[in-house]
Structure 1
Amino acid sequence: MAAREKLLSTALEMLGTGRPETVSINMVAKEAGLSWGSVQNLFGDSDGFWSAVVELIIDNGSSLWAEPQSPTVEGRVAEIAQLYRSILDSPYGVAVETVRAGLPRPLEVLEQTHPLTAASLAKLDDLWSSAFTHFFENLDGPALDTQRARDVAEVLPSALRGLRADQQFGTAVDFDRAHRTLVSALTGYLAG
């Protein structure tokens, strides 16, 4: 396997564990049997490397998406919420969240320190928003309000990440009930 592919696949594998310490290029390079110099030669710097990792996730993560089955708003909200929940639990979803958590924050700082990576993450977010809007096309009944669809496209991932974080921290929340409540509330908002 070529050095570039070896570094990227090793990074995805390590990030997919969710361990924060895996957002270390030195650790990834060592695990891949390469050096920091190899990373510099192939990617320029850490920004180029993490941007390439996110781009690989974008390229490979599209297989996680599905086409809607339900003809109703409520059915589609339930489908997309379950789909996104599955994506969050996938190695790609875990890798994205690990990168986001391990790199500088807030977004304004990341844009200054890692502009390529920030742009790749913004591209990923834009793709999610577009896929979300597409998911609600061709529904039975009246068309959805475009602004409300955008609102829900922003709220749903954050809410599901929050539920997932609560679950990982071992809180006493009934996650299935919270998931159903979220779907119901967002359905009501979308339906107007």
Structure 2
Amino acid sequence: MSTDAAASGRRTNRRGRSTREAMLDAAVTALASGEPGAVSANRIAKEIGATWGTVKYQFGDVDGLWAAVLHRTAEHRGELPYRENNTAPLPERVAEIVETLFLGLTSREARAIEHLRAALPRDPAELERLYPQTAAELASWKDKWARACQKAFADLDVDPARVREVAAFIPGAMRGLVSEARLGTYSDLDEAQRGLTNAIVAYLGGT
């Protein structure tokens, strides 16, 4: 390959990556708005001056686009707070996880995922049939979250079965608190977070 051809290829690849990132940014922005019709690949493409053909080239189809959006937000979300040789006691670790989840679920990307999931089929079999890549990405979140929770308490004398149960319910519980914050509430949300933290600590501590 000539030098000119190689340079042209690099420019093309950079343009392609730039287009892909622009589409993912537009997708998150549109989804986070919660507006009617926001869950539309055509609308997202038009917002950056692209075509459906560009969506197909970059992601294959709408399933590939939604899977890429989910994967990107997962990368930005990162891992649970975890430190090697962590000496923090159980209550501090649980409180940190609760606070991290609350802040994460109030983010723009969290709103985007919430609206996307609301538009997808509820039945897992139907989701897997119509959006196999999206379903696989969502399923991977569950496994990664469960492993992260086990890792966060691995050095403590905590029943792994109870950690799995906490991992199963705490995302929904935190979404409830975030919903209260968005809608407005007479409840003291700081007190609610403390109560949830204390309940989890008591359960994991075997009391």
With normalisation by structure 1, the TM-score equals 0.87
| Residues 39 and 45, structure 1, Cα contact 8 Å, conserved in 2 | yes
Q: Which moved more, 1:35-44 or 1:150-159?
A: 35-44
The match for 1:129 is: 146
| Residues 159 and 204, structure 2, Cα contact 8 Å, conserved in 1 | yes
> 1:161 and 1:97 mapped to 2: Cα distance?
10
| Residues 81 and 96, structure 2, Cα contact 8 Å, conserved in 1 | no
**AA partner of residue 118 (structure 2):** A
Give the total of aligned pairs. Answer: 188
Aligned pairs for 1:45-124 (under 5 A) are 45-62=61-78, 65-67=80-82, 71-124=88-141
Give the direction of change, closer, same or farther, for the CA distance of 1:187–1:28 in structure 2 (3 Å limit): same
Gaps of 5+ in 2: 1-14
Matched, 1:15 2:42: no
Gaps of 5+ in 1: none
| Residues 20 and 98, structure 1, Cα contact 8 Å, conserved in 2 | no
**In the TM superposition, what is the alpha-carbon distance from 1:166 to its structure 2 partner?**
2.5
**AA partner of residue 66 (structure 1):** P
The match for 1:170 is: 184
Q: CA-to-partner distance for each residue in 1:67-95, whole Å, 9 max, x for gaps?
A: 25662111111110001111112233222
Overall identity of the aligned pairs, in %: 39
Provide the alpha-carbon RMSD of the alignment. Answer: 2.1
